[in-house]
Chain A
Amino acid sequence: MSPAVTSDGAQASREGHASREEQVIDRITAIRKRRPRLIDEVVTLAHGAGGKSSAALVDAVFIEAFRNPELEQLGDGAVLTLPSGERLAFSTDSFVVSPLRFPGGSIGHLAVHGTVNDLAVSGAVPRWLSVAFVIEEGFAVGDLREIVADMAAAAGQAGVTLVTGDTKVVPKGAADGLYITTAGVGIIPADRELSMARVRPGDKVLLSGTLADHGMAVMLARGDLGLEADIRSDTAPVSGAVEALLAAAPGTRWMRDPTRGGLGTVCNELAGAVGVAVILDEEALPVTPLVQGACDLLGIDPVYVACEGKFAAVVPADEADDALAALRGHPLGRDACVIGEIRADPEGVVALRNAFGGTRIVDMLVGDPLPRIC
């Protein structure tokens, strides 16, 4: 055996090869900028997973039918301006988690926190919630009482009131126990302006705490994987931590809570909509060893797994230190980190770089490793 020989020819062919590869990459980038297409004939679980398929369904079915400027903001909540000039955030969410109780919380906590958090990351101070129950015939009233008590406690903690509601009962087998839908309204302070469009290259990306706790807690609570670990859901209202951050970093551009589809999906929505690159630092991503172990065992990337009490924020670089200090001073932000930055290139891409200089893409989630986690 002798080492392969080199020549100018080989060099040239290598370069030709490389440039063809770049053309292919550019073509794919162009294709990815097109609107997602819905090609499925039936709805699958992937359409509810928060990834690419969800985006295609929302775009092709719902936006198509309901099109209006408020909806097309596509935030976690719609921002509505009243004739008086005051602005409201309005958001809704359904909860179908299985099991109904899991370490760290229940569907009742989630139903309040989910909507409160969507309002909070829209920049609003959450105020009022509605709640609708779909209950399967035969559901124990005692269990319902406990879940409703969880909701009341969660609402009290988040400073919101449940002001209207609805109850429907369906025949046994037509639903799995209990589904809850909440909607909420919050008031946006006059001086507050948060939007994706304000994100600029050079901005820093902050995360308020550890990734993937909720998704893995629910996954393990189901018991069918046979994994035992004391992983608790992080379900919590983020409104207090959001206010702490905004007070310290008034220039904050935009926020989002990484629920279904996780941080990876949130960053992709930002990169795609604004046409910037989101560059994350792998070893800055906070993940507890337990959660990392569970993810490794199952071959799941924590970057796609839901949190229910965390948020990502994009802040100007010169406010990042203050923002981080403010978050860490809040009980729910003690594990907060600067996890990355916004760059101009490569446009529309989320990339993760590791400590030895390697880089990889973080794409939107395809398929659904963890159905019914919220």
Chain B
Amino acid sequence: MCLGIPGQVVEITDPDAYLAKVDVNGIKRSISVRLLADSGIDIGDWVLVHVGFAMAKIDEREATATLDAVRRMGKAYTDELDAFRSTAGGLANHAKGTVRSDKWPLNSQNPPLKGEKMKFADEFRDPAAARALVKSITELAGDGEYKFMEVCGGHTHTIYRHGLEHLLPPSIELVHGPGCPVCVIPMGRVDDAIWLAGRPDVIFTTFGDMMRVPGSDGSLLEARARGCDVRFVYSPLDALRIAVDNPAKQIVYFAVGFETTAPSTAVTLTRARQLGVSNFSVFCNHVTIVPPIKAILDSPDLRLSGFIGPGHVSTVVGNRPYRFVPEVYGKPIVVTGFEPLDILQSVYMLLAQLREGRCEVENQYSRVVRDEGNPAALALLAEVFELRAHFEWRGLGFISQSALKLSAAYAEFDAELLYSMPGLRVADPKACQCGEVLKGVIKPWECKVFGTACTPETPIGTCMVSPEGACAAYYNFGRLHRETAALVGQQRAAAHG
């Protein structure tokens, strides 16, 4: 959902519509560079791509500086690397499953199997650096006890996908936070979405992640099986294209996501107006990142040592909105990227702050996050959206000024004004403890229905639906005894060294 992928601009296809072509590992796609219009885009620039939009330029110097810092932190790195190289046949250069061309002849059908690394991704998956960093973290943590919350679902996904939780010493507990936009959509809003999808002239469009989220009577996927025209899109611009291609239909786009994704909806709406599209509307469920962090810090039942701060949201909002975390609540926060080394480095930085008696906002993800964020995107958000007085968050209840609706200037695109949806508030199932999970009060496995009544096939709560939800990530990836995970992992390491 909050996925951001590095891509290189290879062609400016339509400067007036801000369209460019990017190359991701050889895959080309047309994307909008409207959000980077102020800073100018040149062929050869590297950008972070999210739902068909360039969110930020990637700063190569910052990326190198971050990797240098990672290597300094993992002081055992050099030794480790030497040991690894001498035993693993140079695997350290091929962190990602792309094997060596001299050893593995090319498949005749598809071009190069290996050799090329994925820039700005593979470097941050370097196994030797990761192992060295884990050693340094273990040393730095000493005999302390730490509880860090990763705010983003994307972080949760990385942590489980790469088995980081079991690599860290047991004295460091990672608590999974509320930053999965799919997980926080309350049931009543899903019911409204299904109601919209059921209108006879409507094509209902949404991200794939939302398709399986249960409402009080089934999901959008089940609505589609009953005959509703529900389509999943990669980008809101794709939904707009469906509207242009189907003038006799009404196209509703189910907009979800934090400030990461809201600008893509904003650009799509300005584009809809430019093109004079009148059969397109947005069911807006965009939420904002700071209020839930505040709500968590105000929650009496949770004691955190610090935050692994949001990454892609911060490309838009910058680092400044988090100052209250150290200044008012006295907790350190490190804005963090989404590769394994990013997360490990962030844990190290948090520990260093605590050890050195510092408490500040630090930016580990400086290759894409600037202090001031993305002013063009923020200006667009201010034009297209306004804050709602209240919004209900799944499990967290009503939080004031925590969500966006379309501004009066864009009222003609607002599905909430165009359709008289039921708009009922539906209480979460009693057994479901998503709220406590989202707040980090309990671990996924501590929920009473986890893995028994609530599984990825039959989710009761939203945390079990999205791959970035804490429960789904734990169930799908993490459900291993710590000892077993260590044993299996060690055997791997042993096989190579």
Contact = CB atoms under 8 A, between A and B. Distances in A.
A289 B112 CA distance: 7
Contacts, number: 265
Interface string B84-108: 0000100110111111000011111
A229 B27 contact: yes
Contact of A226 (B164, B238, B479): B238
Contact of B110 (A232, A285, A353): A232
Nearest to A23: B445
Interface stretch (A172-180, A182-190, A242-250, A361-369): A361-369
B484 A27 contact: no
B450 interface: yes
A201 to B, nearest CB: 13
Interface stretch (B246-254, B401-409, B487-495): B487-495
B278 interface: no
Contact of A31 (B208, B358, B451, B456): B451
Interface residues of B, number: 104
A288 B26 CA distance: 10
B452 to A, nearest CB: 6
A292 B110 contact: no
A349 B24 contact: no
A123 to B, nearest CB: 25
A291 interface: yes
A195 B427 CA distance: 50
A369 B208 contact: yes
A356 interface: yes
Interface size class of A (residues with CB under 8 A): 35 or more
B422 interface: no
Contact of A286 (B5, B113, B484): B113
A27 B24 contact: no
A356 B130 contact: yes
Q: Which of A21, A226, A228, A356 has the most CB of B within 10 A?
A: A356
Interface of A: 1-6, 10, 14, 18, 20-22, 24-25, 27-28, 31, 39-40, 42-46, 52-53, 56, 104, 209-210, 213, 224-232, 234, 279, 281-294, 296-299, 328, 331, 334-335, 337, 343, 345-346, 349, 351, 353-361, 363, 366-367, 369
23 contacts: A2-B357, A28-B452, A42-B226, A44-B224, A53-B457, A210-B113, A213-B109, A234-B110, A283-B96, A289-B114, A292-B96, A299-B1, A299-B467, A328-B105, A334-B104, A343-B488, A346-B484, A354-B127, A354-B489, A355-B127, A358-B489, A359-B488, A361-B476
Cβ-closest 8 pairs across A and B: A293-B25, A358-B163, A355-B127, A28-B451, A357-B489, A356-B127, A356-B130, A360-B477
Interface of B: 1, 3, 5, 24-30, 49, 52, 88, 91-92, 94-99, 104-114, 116, 118, 121, 127-128, 130-131, 134, 142-147, 160-164, 166-167, 170-171, 208, 211-212, 221-222, 224-226, 234-235, 238, 305, 330, 332, 340, 353-355, 357-359, 443, 445-446, 450-452, 456-458, 467, 475-482, 484-486, 488-493, 496
